[in-house]
Amino acid sequence: DIPTLRQLYKLARLIPAEPTAAKYKHSGSLLDRVSLYQGTITALEVDAIVNAANKSLLGGGGVDGAIHSAAGRKLVEECRTLHGCETGDAKITKGYDLPAKHVIHAVGPVYSSHHTQTCAELLASCYRRSMELAAQNSQRHIAFPSISTGIYGYPVEDATHIALDEVRGFLSSESGSKIDRAIFVVWSDHDKGVYEDLLPLYFPLD
């Protein structure tokens, strides 16, 4: 079982050094609805895992490649019927041979330092659309990779602020009540450190 943030904070003593730095003051039960997991997202037995896809939805490298190889050929066959996806949007398929029941394919922006505002909006939109799809399809657990921060070059600190803010906002909203757990999945030790540093700013201990 993946620990919740409340458990993680206890284990790792992750409390913001400066509580006033927190963007939000109270987390309440949100601390029991968010997790951080290091490892491959393809191992997670959850309702939905999010894929960092490209507009074709036909597979690629990085986490997309890992998801397609673990899910088997039926995934790309279903993806072909979807006719691609716009940047900032997401589409849902079954999980096939994955332990996850569904895959939500989100298309993050290719990072450009000349269009930081647009990139930020598109990345935020990926997280929001993924959670909307999960809620509409009664997916109670959703796991996110760090969208756009690999091949698409988004600076991981900036991307993590956006991910945490959007997920916090959605979980606190009315439609968000349909989601029991959001799991942030990190691959590298560096990214894990970034999430550990930033999580307490968005989900502070009460």
Which residues in 105-141 are b (16+ Cβ under 10 Å) and which e? bbbbbebeeeeeeebbebbbbbbbbbbbbbbeeebeb
Q: Which stretch binds ligand AR6 (CB under 6 A): 79-87, 91-99, 127-135, 140-148?
A: 140-148
CB of 54 to ligand AR6, least distance (A): 3
CB of 123 to ligand AR6, least distance (A): 9
Q: Are 56 and 84 in contact (CB under 8 A)?
A: yes
Q: Which of residues 66-125 bind ligand AR6 (CB under 6 A)?
A: 66, 108
Among 4, 35, 54, 160, binds ligand AR6 (CB under 6 A): 54
CA atoms of 74 and 22, how far apart (whole Å): 44
Q: Are 142 and 187 in contact (CB under 8 A)?
A: no
Task: Give residues with Cβ within 8 angstroms of 22, minimum separation 6.
Answer: 16, 200, 201, 202, 204
Among 9, 152, 170, 202, binds ligand AR6 (CB under 6 A): 152
- Asked whether the CA dihedral 127, 32, 156, 39 is positive or negative, the reply is negative
Q: Are 205 and 12 in contact (CB under 8 A)?
A: no
Q: Cβ closer to ligand AR6: 5 or 98?
A: 98
Among 29, 138, 175, 188, binds ligand AR6 (CB under 6 A): 188
Q: Which stretch binds ligand AR6 (CB under 6 A): 21-29, 127-135, 141-149, 166-174?
A: 141-149
187 binds ligand AR6 (CB under 6 A): yes
> Encoding tokens for residue 199?
């999580």
Among 19, 23, 29, 61, binds ligand AR6 (CB under 6 A): 61
Among 145, 176, 200, 204, binds ligand AR6 (CB under 6 A): 145
CA atoms of 163 and 120, how far apart (whole Å): 10
Q: Total number of residues binding ligand AR6 (CB under 6 A)?
A: 25
Binding residues (CB under 6 A) for ligand AR6: these are 40-42, 52-54, 60-64, 66, 108, 145-152, 185, 187-188, 191
